[in-house]
Amino acid sequence: MASAIGLRGYLVTAHKKGDRAILSFSDNGFNIKPPKFFTNFVAGHASVVQNDEKERSWYFEERENNGVGNSKGYTHYGTFGFESNFVDSKTKTKNYRRKVDDIEEIPLFYEYWRPEKADFCFAAFQSFQGRSCIKLVMDQAQDEFAALNPGYILKFQKLLPSEGSSLYSKAPVRRLRLIKRNAPQDVTDRFLGRRVPDKVNFEISMSTNRNKILGSFGEVTGALRKNDAGLVLHDGIEFSEVYADVKIGGKYRPVGVFGSDSNAGVIDITEDIVRGADGHPTYGSLTAQCDKILSDFFKIISNK
């Protein structure tokens, strides 16, 4: 899913250090309350935050702000620290030689949303071709919140972890895909009866007829068997990636169930966005999908 556009969703809560109990956002113990903190956090990182050790950078470009603690826009994620050539894909001519200190930036959508009077908020972060700056941003937010509020912490809980025991454990699943990239010769020999000159990507897909389901997200993921190496095992073949089509925000969307950190727990919205001339999703199409997904998160949490 190298070209996939994904969203990760998180539930953000505040706690006393070492205590699992969720605190009210209006708790008098805070020097700065969480909604105000997020407003200041976005505004305070509108210029580049550079991590020389990781050779990464990021900063916020806020597009919308409709109340304290609410914000939408882009996180501009940059990479640097190595040279490379920029080549025209059509003419194959070299356009530019990237220098070590050049930063390549890509815009990644973000949203912080606090439902009215709620003692939690949601955070959503986009990934592009598997690239994301989520950990950099979350680590910075948690460090700064703890420094401003000694004895208190922010917790980011992934709402779609790679196992079925999540917010969507009871959600219906319509399709399951098992993927093995660069499959070895014995796999291709077994199914094609001959040797293939190049390695292939091998995929097994299980789906249902219209209006039928394979089971709940928890049931389907719970039935997956893993070997000692932690890979999903099916019919003697090891699969490194698993995706399930789960009903989220009114429609079935592919979700990374198992795989690398860049895929697991990611909601694939590739088919639902519109790409601009620059190859990136348009802001309007991203906000439309994110609003549907976050609203669905809130609906499920509110009904529990």
Cβ burial of 240 (10 Å; 0-12, 13-18, 19+) is middle
For the segment 277-298, what is each residue's pLDDT rounded down to a tens digit?
Answer: 988 999 999 999 999 999 999 9
B/e letters for 134-145, b = 16+ CB within 10 Å, e = fewer, are: bebbbebbeebb
Q: Model pTM greater than 0.85?
A: no
Alpha-carbon distance of 168 to 158, in angstroms, equals 11
Cβ atoms of 72 and 111 within 8 Å: the answer is yes
For the segment 137-179, what is each residue's pLDDT rounded down to a tens digit?
Answer: 999 999 999 999 999 999 999 887 555 556 788 889 999 999 8
Max CA separation in the chain (angstroms)? 71
Alpha-carbon distance of 290 to 287, in angstroms, equals 5
For the segment 175-217, what is each residue's pLDDT rounded down to a tens digit?
Answer: 999 988 887 777 777 777 777 767 788 888 999 888 899 999 8
Residues 220-228 have a mean pLDDT of 78
Which pLDDT does position 55 carry in this prediction?
81
Alpha-carbon distance of 286 to 143, in angstroms, equals 28
Record the tokens describing residue 126, joined without a space: 């986009």
**Residues of the chain above pLDDT 90, percent:** 48
Residue 238, pLDDT above cutoff 70: yes
Q: Shortest CA distance to 258 belongs to which of 270, 246, 243, 248?
A: 243
Residues whose CB is less than 8 angstroms from the CB of residue 291 and which lie 6 or more positions away in sequence, other chains included:
none
